Structure 1
Amino acid sequence: MGADKAVIIAGSRSGSGKTTVALGLMAALTGLGLKVQPFKCGPDFIDPTLHRLVTGRVSRNLDIWMCGENFARQTFARHSRNADISIIEGVMGMFDGGDSSSAALAAGLGVPVVLVLDVRSTAESAAAVLKGFETLEPQMAPRGVILNMVAGPRHLELVSEAVRKHCRAEILGHLPRSLNFAIPERHLGLHMGHEASVSPRAIAELAGSFRKHLDLDKLMDIASESESRDMISRQPSAGPSARIAVARDKAFCFYYEDNLDLLRSAGAELVFFSPLEDECLPEDITAIYLGGGYPELYLETLSGNGKMLAAVRRWAENGGRIYAECGGFMYLTMGILDGDERFHSMVGIFPVLARMRKKRVALGYREVCLKDDCLIGSAGTMLRGHEYHYSRIDEMPPEVPRLYAVNNGTEEGYGYKNVLGSYMHLHFGFNPRAVKKFVLNLGKRALEGK
């Protein structure tokens, strides 16, 4: 197998079935003994955990806007080189999202597109939809199509005849409407892979259905049209210059793997701990990194772990460095009010409450400029990321520094001593040089004591 085989699984729209198709293809090919390297187009944290569950390999995010085309190309080259095929799950509809769309990523990487076309409640008209995808940007026309939600043999015949008559994309197969596969959902999206949201039996059955209904040889032929790619090796650091305690458990699980790799490459040693289960911070650390996740699902346990709350508070008060994103930022407030307005005490560094809401509060890409020198870099440094949450904090007191000037006209990134907290998930790939400064800052030791 050639190491340059790759496809992007794009959707005709959100909800067309591309996650199911991507997982099914990964499972089917992995079941045949192939090494399948998964990727996810866009900033999503959840789908990559499902990819890992199916393939046994860490999935990487590829986002041209958030981390830059060069970084995306290098990430793709670095992690696909030892695979038989790379499968990239797209985002929304194929052309949705501008520079962050599946089409833009396919063009930037030189990877062919396979379109998932939901044909429920339509027949010959499905060909018109596919024809539109082929003609909107002819250079990015899908090379293959998978017909999803097919009602039966006659429905398949009508759609297939129209597609073959009017379109150039090869039909790789179809998925019946009766396909019995579903992933549980909640407010932030699908359940994550490490929550055992999909059983091994369900994965095996999904793989069998895909081997039955799809032409995997045709898929591999299309994947072989992917452009060859060269990789620039990262220069290893001289040695650890920071020892960072990274919160990683069921409550804090939103991390870009490339962010962790960039921290390591810049000289950081990462030590994982659990605010849910551990009662003290790891020994001999220089900083704490609190990522996002689902603290709202584990409020009683987090609030009840008084020893950890006190350890983090003491660390901050003694000048210890903490970088916190979204759920990690919520953990540093006075407390979180759940959906029933019940109070759960938290670390208490920032003098506000975080309140859970039934409707989404924020979603979108963000670009920030650092207003002053701070934990993550020097004044004027530009960084990019995204924001997605169902909670809202009270108005932060004016005396609390705002360190981010955000492209949506707001100021965010709240400071306290050597603590930086924000709702934003930054991708360090947009500015790898800033990561070295970040690690140097995180390596500076504060006053002794936890």
Structure 2
Amino acid sequence: MPIPTLVIAGTHSGVGKTSIAIGLMRAFTHQGLQVQPFKVGPDFIDPSHHQRATGRVSHNLDGWMLNQAQNRQIFDQACQGADLAIVEGVMGLFDGYGAESESGSTAEMAKWLGAPVVLVINARSLARSAAALVSGYGNFDPDLTVAGVICNQIGSASHLDRICSAVSQTVRVPIVGGIPRSKPVRIPERHLGLWRATEEELAETDYLDSLAKLVTDNLDLAELVNIANSRSDQLVAPSHLEMKTDAQQCLSHSPKVRIGIAQDQAFCFYYGINLSLLEQAGAELIPFSPLKDALPENLDGLYIGGGYPELHSKQLSENKDMRDAIANFCRSGRPVYAECGGLMYLSQGLLGAEQQRYPFVGILPFWTTMGQRVKLGYRQVDMVGPYGGFPKQGTIRGHRFHYSDIVDAQGNLLEITPTSPERSRRGQLEFNYKLQGWKNHQTWEGYQVYNVLASYVHLHFGSNPTFAQQFVKCCRP
């Protein structure tokens, strides 16, 4: 039997699906169930709340970065030992990579998993029109099962009754409850999204239990379990995610490769599968904090992920021993891979407000500063440069989401290209990535100095596990 599964989707972003999904995860966990959480799309922040609500690592499912078999592998492997899976959707139910296909959407993922969808609608100021809304979403894709509706922002019990009456006359989709707008529970936000669950100010609150009580008091949890149990059992289980090659089997008998991984409030954006695949390839991941630690000894490589270095720039800059140690590590020629916030940290530093300067590691020949406009979107990465840590001529997929810009020491925007003067400053700067984005727009990226590769793109190793294997192989002494 397939594991019971709920896909919590929304009509659009901001409708409340994240709070409701987290509340359901917590509520069912309180009932003694092992709840396995997932997030559709490339988001790093929502999964941190999922993990805190359930005690289980939340994994990203993504129909653009990964194919159906790869998503199923992640799903099935993560669900081992679980009683219920709850998948939080992304944006609106049918929104994804582009306007002309379902790629990357919640609807696509629900169909790939054979899972029923519970649709969250904003019912504020709606009555009979809610029936038209539910009918439209329920009938738009005949291959998708919209099995229940949650009304958020209802004004009263009679308001919910009117919606239920209107919907029952139009479509055969049950309303499983309504969340009153008089009892909001909001998670604070900043420029990259919600606060992470591990932030001290948020960790001291009882927001998880407040959300659990809100959904328990206002939703029919028994009906939601019935819906979860309706998941199709006509799916063929795919093969295990591990891709054992002959080389990997030899590596399994070799000493572990010690790879330092920056993990703290400044560097916290990592796909769980990336870390798992590195470990499967023979890595021992050694966590350290660039904010307060010394660099661990006897490391063979470094992985510095994304996060919020801009919020901790003063503390990062003041830990000069760490900055110097990482700079020396980079100059030693050992492999270093950095994404987004990691790129910022390996730069000359961050230019802050009012001409403040926060020196960082100083390996990359540019500064960064916070801009006003977000740069985001999926990217296909073709390896075209000399970096030995990833397969030459390999292709992998990832995502960009950042506000920072690359600038010179005076704060002027830099457009670094393979022929620009910045390429040769402070050591030869190589380019390893040819990025392909929306409507096949191509750019160069993936900056290399020494054996350091830094980029704004968060790669998903699950889309090409040989990248993890090659990185570990390159780190091996």
TM-score (norm 1): 0.95
Matched residue of 1:67: which SS?
coil
Report the equivalent of 1:247. Answer: 262
Moved segments of 4+, more than 6 Å: none
Report the equivalent of 1:426. Answer: 459
- The reply to whether residue 409 of structure 1 matches residue 442 of structure 2 is yes
Report the equivalent of 1:377. Answer: 390
Q: What is the distance in 1 between the residues matched to 2:256 and 2:286?
A: 13
CA contact 1:3–1:84 (8 Å) conserved in 2: no
Given candidates 265, 269, 274, the residue that maps to 1:259 is 274
Matched residue of 1:350: which SS?
coil
Q: What is the distance in 1 between the residues matched to 2:370 and 2:231?
A: 44
Q: Within 5 Å, which residues of 2 pair with 1:127-276?
A: 127-196=131-200, 197=202, 199=204, 201-228=206-233, 230=237, 232-233=239-240, 234=242, 235=244, 237-276=252-291
Report the equivalent of 2:381. Answer: 368
Report the equivalent of 1:51. Answer: 50
Q: What is the distance in 2 between the residues matched to 1:121 and 1:254?
A: 38
Residues 4-44 of structure 1 show CA distances to partners (whole Å, capped at 9, x for unaligned) of: 10011000111111001101111111111111111000000
Report the equivalent of 2:17. Answer: 18
Q: What is the distance in 2 between the residues matched to 1:198 and 1:246?
A: 23
Report the equivalent of 1:101. Answer: 105
Shift of 1:435: 2.1
CA 1:18–1:339: 2 relative to 1, 3 Å: farther
Shift of 1:341: 3.8
Amino acid at match of 1:316: C
Shift of 1:199: 4.7
Shift of 1:47: 0.0
Q: Which runs of 5+ in 2 are unaligned?
A: 97-101, 408-413, 417-421
Shift of 1:241: 4.5
CA contact 1:288–1:322 (8 Å) conserved in 2: yes
Residues 305-351 of structure 1 show CA distances to partners (whole Å, capped at 9, x for unaligned) of: 01000001111112121100000011001111124441100110011
Given candidates 111, 120, 126, the residue that maps to 2:124 is 120
Q: What is the distance in 2 between the residues matched to 1:71 and 1:340?
A: 47
Report the equivalent of 1:8. Answer: 7
Shift of 1:147: 0.8
Indicate the larger mover: 64-73 or 385-394. Answer: 64-73
Shift of 1:282: 1.2
Shift of 1:200: 5.5
Q: Within 5 Å, which residues of 2 pair with 1:279-318?
A: 279=294, 281-318=295-332
TM-score (norm 2): 0.90
Report the equivalent of 2:350. Answer: 336
- The reply to whether residue 442 of structure 1 matches residue 475 of structure 2 is yes
CA 1:104–1:332: 2 relative to 1, 3 Å: same
Shift of 1:121: 1.7
Shift of 1:359: 2.8
Shift of 1:157: 1.8
Q: How many residue pairs are counted as aligned between the two chains?
A: 441
Amino acid at match of 1:56: G
Report the equivalent of 1:70. Answer: 69
Shift of 1:206: 2.2
Shift of 1:117: 1.0
Report the equivalent of 2:80. Answer: 81
Indicate the larger mover: 368-377 or 57-66. Answer: 368-377
Shift of 1:379: 2.6
